[in-house]
Chains A and B, each alone.
Chain A
Amino acid sequence: MLLQLVPKDPKFPFIRFHKIGFAFSALLILGSIGLLGGKGLNLGIDFLGGILLEVKTEGPADIGEFRDRLSGLGLGEVSIQEFGAPDDLLIRVQRQEGGDGAQQEAVTIIKDALGDMVSEYRRNEVVGPTVGAELQEAALYAVLAAIGAILIYIWFRFEWQYGVGAIIALTHDVISTIGLFALLQLEFNLATVAAILTIAGYSINDTVVVFDRVRESLRKYKVMPFPELFDLAINRTLSRTIMTSATTMIALLALYFLGGSVIQGFVIAMIWGVIIGTYSSLFVAVPTLLYLRPRRGDEDEAPFAEQAAPDSNS
């Protein structure tokens, strides 16, 4: 007997609940924007500039002692946290006033102050204000360009209604992921941007599969009302949607628990992305088509033989 995550011929009335989905999504987006405005993002040194040191100590680290030694240096905000293990600390120091050279001087001051408390400098990242600003810009362009390019591709392959639906779902996923980072105050860095772009790819992948089935069904069943037809398309692809999410999630969980602390933030974003990407394909992308009303396909392309076909009896 083979494992089936989804019953054989599912008939969930997704469309009937689409307004609840819309309300939930609207809440999610408004909440995300609110969090962005309120708490804001915990931007990493990639974007702000500043210093990040990962250090190892002999035996469990005395965070209080570290804090004492670093707070008196006049370097501004210093954050110290345990990183994966009790003898592993992550030290973040805010960007220093006075341009690119000032960051370098601060590192020397910090290393002098810590002295023999540190047995190994595992990671040493210094980003000056110039590069930080540039990376911010590049990241923004990357996300916008990705959304734009995907929109154009979908438009080209489908109809504009699908393109708009896909982009709404995609933007929904991107904004809510950023919202999650604001809520949890996870560090938002270059890797996060990479994760967001990957989420964009994954989410669109999912949406395209369902849209493909919607388009196909529109050609097959010329008279079926939209809500019924969309339900059919979603249910027919539901098994695949869940299976792919499950295998991807399995791989991501393996990475989360075993892949080490350095990429954990990246993996958290991805895990959220798989969940929200799957949700948005079903509850945002397809229901949006209800209002955009895509055309019913080309009359010539749908042979009558297939119209009567498999689905009436199953």
Chain B
Amino acid sequence: MLNFPTWKKALIGIICAFGIIYAVPNFFPEDTFEGLPDYAPGKTMSLGLDLQGGSHLLLEVDTDTVITERFESTEDAIRRALRGERIGYTNLSVQGASVRFGLRDAARANEVLSLIREIDLTLQVSEDNAQFAVTLDEQGLAEARTNAVDQSVEIIRRRIDELGTREPLIQRQGAERIVVQVPGFDDPEALKSVIGQTAKMTFHLLEEGSTPGVAPNSAPPGTMILPANEGGGNYLVERRVRVSGERLTDAQPSFQDNQPVVSFRFDTLGARQFGDVTKDNVGRYLAIVLDNKVISAPVIRDAILGGSGIISGAFSVQEVGDLSLLLRAGALPAPISFLEERTVGPGLGQDSIDAGRIASIVGMILVVGFMVLSYGRFGMMANAALIINIMLIVAILSALQATLTLPGIAGIVLTIGMAVDANVLIFERIREETRAGRTPLSAVDSGYRQALTTIIDANVTTLIAAVLLFAFGSGPIKGFAVTLSVGILTSMFTAIMVTRFLVVTWLRSAKPKTLPI
């Protein structure tokens, strides 16, 4: 254990140098190292939301809605096809996982089959005695769910980008969940109102002859009753979507007659659809529907062919701004709900950083002093290793771009305490061997030799706990597990390699008769 071949010395040197170079940027202001190429050291540990402040949200996408919509639109398409061909049907409705209906004239069954094929090739039809059951392709439904979540991630990203925050993290988690982390944003309510709204806008015609704000108790086939967005009243609206909000290319807040309104513009297809519907239905009411609520239902006075228009309603300036943002970013394919929310204000974050820093420094000074008192010269060598150890932890965390959380800082402080353990084991062993009458060299050699397996066994068990902590933990706890694991590895390295190197070098040059331990 006393020989250090050149390559080993070089390796220790390289690792320590790496530690210092990569750790150093953390002790300087953030912008000192800007402009360096990516591979150069200069990265710092990124601070977790609990330290820099920010919001963490866990959302769930209600994908069942997407499936329900699929069935409803299939039902609608079948109805229109049957009506178009003047085929009599009965009891057309969605029942469970299929659309069912019967035919008045069983002889036209074959005609119906080919009609349904025309709607969508993936539809599966079974017919029994003029009773039809149309089911949707299982795989297609599963894909629809997946797409809904992926799209939601994309839409939420666009919306948050519009808020102008830096480096948000938006990530899918599991089948139907999305994690959103927005650093430095401390108004969770505003964030949630921007993320949470489905913002699905559609343009429908009011059912012929019905009055805005007045609806019967039950909706005839092909129509639906929707409530007003503001104030009371219900609207009887055609189910059929005339123009969808997806066709919007732009939406901006503006004013008309001193009232805040949203002005919007359609893409080419949207403009044509909008032109057609307004041209053919002059005098009827056009309902602007947002998330199944009618914002307004103006009467169509003229064909609007330019592809742009305004939405007026009882809006505040703030609402107009939010609505424009939502329309620009697009609608969520399905409603979402918030499962978990954790927000830390910037004040608390800064307090935690300060507290963590002071606790680390004080803890470090106390441990260093204690080691010198207990082991003298050897204690100082252990302390040198301890400082290199801290550097290495910081360096590895920076290089990995790991996130430093408050429990992570606790992990580092704890490592300071536990890192000396390996050295203590060795030193106590050397003491023992010295008392047993060995010469300094042989005591040191035997001390390291005997302590080695113990150190490895003891640390591997702690590492097991740390790894499991990482696997099961979330957020800040993961940060703790990372620093603890890294700390265990670096403390083994520094105790076994660095301290030993220092001790051996000193022994060889000073050649002491007795060990000062």
**Given A101-B338, A208-B457, A123–B348 Cβ distance below 8 Å?**
yes
Which B residues are in CB contact (< 8 Å) with A252?
413-414, 417
Listed residue (A131, A138, A153, A157) with the most chain B CB atoms within 10 angstroms of its CB: A131
CB distance from A193 to the nearest CB of B (A): 8
Complex Cα–Cα for A14 and B418 (A): 25
Contact B370–A250 (Cβ < 8 Å):
yes
Q: Which A residue's beta carbon lies closest to that of B377? A: A2
How far does the alpha carbon of A309 sit from the alpha carbon of B406 in the complex, in Å?
A: 50
Q: Which of B69-77, B130-138, B352-360 contacts A (4 or more CB under 8 A)?
A: B352-360
Q: Are A236 and B472 also in contact (CB < 8 A) when A121-B186, A251-B417 are?
A: no
Q: Are B432 and A236 in touch, CB under 8 angstroms? A: yes
Instruction: Report A-chain residues with C-beta under 8 Å of the C-beta of B409.
Output: 259
Q: Which A residues are in CB contact (< 8 Å) with B420?
A: 243-244, 247
A310 touches B339 (CB 8 A): no
Q: Are B355 and A4 in contact (CB under 8 A)?
A: no
Interface-located stretch among B145-153, B263-271, B421-429, B495-503: B421-429
CA distance A202 to B469 in the complex (A): 14
The chain A residue with its CB closest to the CB of B421 is A244
Tell whether B407 is near chain A: CB-to-CB under 8 Å: yes
Interface of B is mostly: helix
Q: Determine the distance from Cα of A154 to Cα of B268 in the docked complex, in whole angstroms.
A: 71
> Which A residues are in CB contact (< 8 Å) with B413?
251-252, 254-255, 259
Distance from A35 Cβ to chain B, minimum over Cβ atoms (Å):
25
Which residue of A191, A216, A240 is within 8 Å of B477 (Cβ)? A191
Complex contacts, A236 vs chain B, CB 8 Å: 432
Q: A240-B424, A247-B424, A249-B417 are in contact. Are A258 and B435 (CB under 8 A)?
A: no
Size of interface on A: residues with Cβ below 8 Å to B: 85
Give B426 Cβ to nearest chain A Cβ, in Å. 9
CA distance A209 to B453 in the complex (A): 9
Q: Name the A residues within 8 Å of B360 (CB-CB).
A: 254
Are B472 and A145 in contact, with the CB atoms below 8 A?
yes
A67-75, A222-230, A263-271, A289-297: which lies at the interface: A263-271
- Flag if B370 contacts A251 (CB, 8 Å): no
> In the complex, A95 Cα to B432 Cα: how many Å?
58
Please tell me which one of the listed residues B344, B358, B471 contacts residue A258 in the complex, with CB atoms under 8 A apart: B358
Q: How far is the CA of A205 from the CA of B460 in the complex (A)?
A: 9
Q: Are B414 and A145 in contact (CB under 8 A)?
A: no
- Chain A residues near B370 (CB, 8 Å)? 3, 246-247, 250
Contact B343 A123 (CB under 8 A): yes
Count chain B CB atoms within 10 A of each CB in A111, A208, A251 and give the residue with the most: A251
Interface segment out of the listed B8-16, B205-213, B232-240, B361-369? B361-369
Contacts A108-B189, A142-B469, A149-B468: A122 and B347 contacting too (C-beta < 8 A)?
yes
Q: How far is the CA of A219 from the CA of B58 in the complex (A)?
A: 56
Contact of A125 (CB < 8 Å), options: B341, B355, B374, B438: B341
Q: In whole Å, how far is B345's beta carbon from the nearest beta carbon of chain A?
A: 5
Q: Knowing A150-B465, A202-B462 touch, does A262 contact B352 (C-beta < 8 A)?
A: yes
Q: Which residue in A120, A145, A216 is a CB contact (below 8 Å) of B345?
A: A120
Neighbouring A residues of B355 by C-beta, 8 Å = 258-260
Number of A-B contacts (CB under 8 A): 250
The residues of B that contact A99 with a CB separation of less than 8 Å are: 337
Whether a CB of chain B sits under 8 angstroms from the CB of A141 is yes
What 1/0 mask marks residues of chain A from 135 to 153 whose CB sits below 8 Å from any chain B CB?
A: 1001101100110011001
**A135–B363 alpha-carbon span in the complex (Å):** 32
Residue contact A124 to B343, C-beta cutoff 8 Å: yes
Task: Check: A54 CB closer than 8 A to any chain B CB.
Answer: yes
Collect the chain A residues with CB atoms within 8 Å of residue B465's CB. Answer: 146, 150, 197-198, 200-201, 204
What residues of A have a CB within 8 angstroms of the CB of B407 in the complex? Answer: 191, 194, 263, 266
Q: Are B458 and A250 in contact (CB under 8 A)?
A: no
Smallest beta-carbon distance A103→chain B, Å: 8
| B351 contacts partner chain A, Cβ-Cβ < 8 Å | yes
With a CB–CB cut-off of 8 A, which chain B residues contact A145? 468, 471-472
A interface residues, Cβ below 8 angstroms from B: 2-5, 8-9, 54, 56, 99-101, 103-104, 107-108, 111, 120-128, 130-131, 135, 138-139, 141-142, 145-146, 149-150, 153-154, 157, 190-191, 193-194, 197-198, 200-202, 204-206, 208-209, 212-213, 216, 236-237, 239-240, 243-244, 246-252, 254-255, 257-260, 262-263, 266-267, 270, 309-311, 313-314
Please name 28 pairs of A and B residues whose Cβ atoms are closer than 8 Å in the assembled complex, sorted by A: A8-B435, A104-B192, A122-B345, A123-B344, A123-B348, A126-B342, A138-B474, A150-B461, A153-B461, A194-B469, A194-B481, A198-B466, A198-B469, A198-B480, A202-B462, A205-B421, A205-B462, A212-B458, A250-B363, A254-B360, A255-B359, A255-B363, A259-B355, A259-B410, A260-B355, A260-B359, A262-B348, A262-B406
